[in-house]
Structure 1
Amino acid sequence: MQDKAPVVLVTGASRGAGRGIAIGLGAHGCTVYVTGRSEKAGDATLPGTIYETAEAVTAVGGQGIAVRCDHGDDRDVEALFEQIRREQGRLDLLVNNAASIYDELTHPGHFWEKPLKLADIINVGVRSSYVASWLAAPMMVEQGKGLIVFTSGSGAVHYVYGPGYGAHKAGVDKMAADMAVDFKGSGVATLSVWMGALLTDRLQMVMDSDPMKYAYLKDTVETPEFTGHIIWALLNDPKIAELSGQTVIGAEMARTYRLLDQGGRQPPSPRDTAGIAPHVQHPRIIR
């Protein structure tokens, strides 16, 4: 367990997975910096702002700190990390969750028939996770301890919504693996966590659009807060170094740590339901 309340940064936390993760970590008393661009209603097509998330974190027992940050602008991100260092002097956990997701992602059609803006997930998704990790690394190495988590999903190894989405998931899984090589011996660990289908406002909207098509999700969805509790367990695992670099399935880690989702549910793993599992990194290293 941590001696002091851990200092956490959850990127892209106005809504969805990021919001749930931030609240889940707040319930364990963490100081949570929540970032995003949404500051007021109407800033995005879906509800949620960084201030609402920060207030929710504080309401469950943590300390929520909202910081407006465009993760597509390196200057914004640099200022964010300078603020965390100035105010806290350390960073214990970085959750790379920010990603450019548009409504058109789930629309029918081939990738060339959808707007080119869907490629933005390569910038705010893959590149932004690299940038945040690059800025977090010196602080964590200096303190000799830290955890960097990438939120991912099974779309890393099978088709989901198109090549942009898949490239994002596969990309962050690979970054977790390769960053662990560079962090070895530093006390800093990296993990990519596959989340299941999350019952967010966006997914609810998709499910409502075709109830028959998406009926199968009813018994498999996870609450966004569930991943926050899983990450908390990982952060406090004394054997976290042995997991560093791996892509883990959140539902399977929940079983390991004996965690249940809301209502006492044990969400299924895609390994069990569809035979889908993360790729395993080959141990060869070329420098």
Structure 2
Amino acid sequence: MGSLEGKVALVTGASRGLGKDIAMSLALSGASVMATARTESDSDSHIPGSLASTVADIQAQGGTASSMRCDVTSEVDIQNTIEATIARFGRIDIVINNAGILIPGRITDLQVKHWDLIFKVNVLGPFLMARAIVPVFEESGSGHIINISSRAAIGPGAGPYDSPRAEGSAYGTTKAALERFTQGLAAELSDRNISVNALSPHLPIWSEGGHFFRTKGGDPDYTGWRMSGKIIGDAAVWICEQSPNQVTGQILYDELVFSDWVGLTAAEIQNQYPVE
């Protein structure tokens, strides 16, 4: 029996990349997974990955999963997804806010509509989901919310700089906002047995979407990258195994979960989650 047997997880942005990796780890740990995204079938996008393939891959490994299209910027979609998940599995114990977008470009070149869109998906989406799911968790008596963040939240630091650093400012700003939101919500819910944490990759992780855009500039170099997101999926599982009152309001990094909290050595981490 898996450590999350009997639990139900709702994962946004689960058609590919980190969302799919997290959904897979949760399912293989015994959770029933509702995978959500906007890409339902492989024909819906020029980037590989879909909800259909995520569910098929989970089921092929003996896991339990279903899927539903959900636009995280839509209150109606989020409410319908929550209701459908409860109707399908009877409950929800875990929410992974993974859906996110990155629109590259310098601040001075970025269009206002793109700035608004990044914030709607990366910040408004988790807010809408939290507002809808917290009453469900309060009724059941517990719950876990994990907001997937990024090292981009840290920013480039103070200047002066050796050279200009283009792109990523808008995306990083949304992730910094998401981390502040995470700790604020965790503090608000500290007496409700509901944990809220942010989780980021410690090192870059290959994904279908990232690879698609990186290949436009030539043959990408993935030295220092992880080619599998299993480490962030397993870190999410570990968070969900903990008491909501013990691990909450944390800004966590997948590798550091295993080194600082679990106690694995660097060699053990490299063996289980190799770096190129």
TM range (shorter): 0.7 to 0.9
> How much does 1:251 deviate?
1.0
1:244 aligned to 2:239?
no
Aligned to 2:272: 264
SS of 1:118 mapped into structure 2: helix
Report the Cα distance in structure 2 between the residues aligned to 1:175 and 1:252, rounded to whole angstroms. 21
1:182 aligned to 2:188?
yes
> How much does 1:233 deviate?
1.0
Aligned to 1:147: 144
Aligned to 1:201: 208
Report the Cα distance in structure 1 between the residues aligned to 2:41 and 2:270, rounded to whole angstroms. 29
For structure 2, the 5+ residue unaligned runs are: 157-165
The percent of aligned pairs where both chains have the same amino acid is 22
2:36–2:69 contact (8 Å) kept in structure 1: yes
2:234 corresponds to which of 229, 233, 237:
229
SS of 2:232 mapped into structure 1: helix
TM (norm. structure 2) is 0.84
1:161 corresponds to which of 156, 164, 167:
167
Aligned to 1:285: none
> How much does 1:88 deviate?
2.8
> How much does 1:79 deviate?
0.6
Flag the 1:218–1:203 CA change in 2: closer, same or farther, 3 A: farther
Q: What is the count of residue pairs matched by the alignment? A: 260
Name the amino acid aligned to 2:253: I
Report the Cα distance in structure 2 between the residues aligned to 1:44 and 1:115, rounded to whole angstroms. 23
2:150–2:172 contact (8 Å) kept in structure 1: no
SS of 2:256 mapped into structure 1: helix
Report the Cα distance in structure 2 between the residues aligned to 1:202 and 1:3, rounded to whole angstroms. 29
Stretch moving more, 53-62 or 226-235: 53-62
Report the Cα distance in structure 2 between the residues aligned to 1:265 and 1:85, rounded to whole angstroms. 34
State the superposition RMSD in angstroms.
Answer: 2.5
Name the amino acid aligned to 2:19: G
1:28–1:61 contact (8 Å) kept in structure 2: no
> How much does 1:202 deviate?
2.5
SS of 2:257 mapped into structure 1: helix
TM (norm. structure 1) is 0.81
2:4–2:30 contact (8 Å) kept in structure 1: no
Aligned to 1:284: none
1:217-266: CA deviation from partner (whole Å, max 9, x where unpaired): 4223352222111111111124x523311111111002232396685346
Flag the 1:15–1:3 CA change in 2: closer, same or farther, 3 A: closer
1:126 aligned to 2:123?
yes
Aligned to 2:94: 93
> How much does 1:81 deviate?
0.8
1:218 aligned to 2:226?
no
2:231–2:255 contact (8 Å) kept in structure 1: no
Aligned to 1:275: none
SS of 1:111 mapped into structure 2: coil
For structure 1, the 5+ residue unaligned runs are: 269-287
2:231–2:273 contact (8 Å) kept in structure 1: no
> How much does 1:207 deviate?
4.5
